[in-house]
Amino acid sequence: MSSSTIQVTDSSELSAQTTSRLVLQMARRDIATLFRTPWIIISRSLAFIIQLFVFAYLISGLVISYPDYFRYYAVGAVVSTVASISFIIGYDIFEEAEEGLLDYLLTLPIPRREFIIGRALGGAVRAMIYTIPMFVIVAVLENFANPLSLIGAVLDLFLIAFGVTGLSITVAVSVRSANRFDVVLALLELAVTRASTALYPLNFLPAYVKVFAPFSPVTFAADSARAALTGLGLDVLGLVGLLAFVAIFLGLGATFYFRRLEGGVYA
């Protein structure tokens, strides 16, 4: 009597595979939209090049009270750029809601958690694709060659991108008016990126900005990236702050997203 062997897949393993696949599918959809609008990449890249090779070059020659200000500014410019670009996911979601596309997406067999994580992940990866060439330019200019330092800085960039996408999603589903949404997101982007130590040292900021700048997620990311790239070691406070920022706004984004949708706000 012969016997056959049947391979049994553990249900938890199958569930993990399904979750990963759904998250990647949602992320891949948002990443694909990047290549449909190449003018955004071109305009942002030109803006960064002008900011680095014109403004930063000129102002660093005038600053004598802070040594090697060009390096400080160059790293901060990359961090502020990735944070600024990460807000774009909010505009996408708001437009999808107005056009009715969001209703279709919600009919797909994708659980809530996978949906929101996939969208945030897609927005973060898309922002990283935007800014990695800029990061490479700065690394070459400043001779940042330590692989571990580069990996640490890229991790900081990804965390700030991931957290800002969650923040942007939260705003997108909390504001119904298109005009009000544009104003709120623009002001929030300005506050997050500028009220920080990304481009200017804390000691030189106005007194009213010094109160908030140390707690900005962009400050955490910029300080942590500089510490990694310049060999100062691991900035534990910066990493903890970034992780907390990601957890808070990813959770808030998911909560507001589905509470608003189930309440019929976009009906």
Q: Where are the domains of the chain?
A: 21-262
DSSP 3-state helix, strand, coil percentages of the chain (rounded to 5)? 80, 0, 20
Sign of CA dihedral 27, 30, 36, 39: negative
State if pTM tops 0.85: no
Helices 147-172 and 69-86 pack at an angle, to 10 degrees, of 40
Answer left, alpha or beta for residue 143, where phi above 0 means left and psi between -120 and 50 means alpha: left
For residue 154, what pLDDT is reported? 93
Q: Say what the pLDDT of residue 248 is.
A: 83
Rounded to 5 degrees, what are φ and ψ at 65? -85, -10
- pLDDT of amino acid 266: 43
* Dihedral class, residue 110 (left if φ above 0, else alpha if ψ from -120 to 50, else beta): beta
Determine the residue type at 218: V
| 140-176 pLDDT, tens digit each | 999 998 898 999 999 999 999 988 888 888 787 777 7
Q: DSSP of 121-163, one letter per residue? A: HHHHHHHHHHHHHHHHHHHHHTT---HHHHHHHHHHHHHHHHH
Q: Is 68 left (phi over 0), alpha (psi -120 to 50) or beta?
A: left
Tell me which residue of 83, 263, 47 sits closest to 185, measured CA to CA. 83
* Per-residue confidence (pLDDT) for residue 265, from 0 to 100: 46
Residue 117: the pLDDT is 77
Q: What one-character DSSP code corresponds to residue 169?
A: H
Q: Which residues of the chain have pLDDT under 70?
A: 1-27, 29-38, 40, 100-113, 253-254, 256-267
